[in-house]
Amino acid sequence: MALLEILKYPDPILKQVAKPVTSVTSETVRLIEDMVETMYAAPGVGLAAPQVGVSRRIIVLDIDHDNPGKNLLKLINPEISGSEGELLWEEGCLSVVDFTVEIKRAARVELKALDEKEKELKIDAEGLLAVALQHEIDHLNGKLILDRVSRLKRDLYSRRLKKMLRGDKPPPENPRVMI
């Protein structure tokens, strides 16, 4: 297994719609394992293949910090088949440095996907798991949390990021776990 580089905004790959996985190969399985290792090292609760520069519809998730790996999800071609309710959740993102924002999401989602053995999975999720699934599927569709905020907030973030990259202001430490 290997740690992969997590792409950061404004990398153009993050804005592309990921391609479906047509067959699960040994390379697909290796990518998934590398994504899991990268997600835990980040640390994050979810990671999508486009975040590591691979345009494939693959996500990994683990929201159980007390038991890493016990509830790990490895999902190929995930698709939300139903949703209900609404909630606000403060989200951060491994690809959007030093930025969190409250985002309105479905409170509960039903999802279909394949696992790494091409077995069909059905997941009924609520709370953090529902939020993380929606967040990661957004990545597969070329959307970032910045696409869910006002133009003003996006522009302010872009200016602050440019200052950080120029070295005008050191990036603050952020102890939050990112999705």
Active-site annotation holds for 33: no
Cα 74 from Cα 104, distance rounded (Å):
25
Cα 147 from Cα 169, distance rounded (Å):
24
Q: Within the chain, how many helices (H) and strands (E) appear?
A: 3, 7
Catalytic pick from 118, 120, 136, 173?
136
Q: How far apart are the first and last CA of the chain?
A: 21
Torsion angle of C-alpha atoms 168, 170, 171, 175, degrees rounded to 10? -160
Question: Do residues 100 and 157 make contact, with C-beta atoms less than 8 angstroms apart?
Answer: no
Query: Active-site positions?
Result: 136
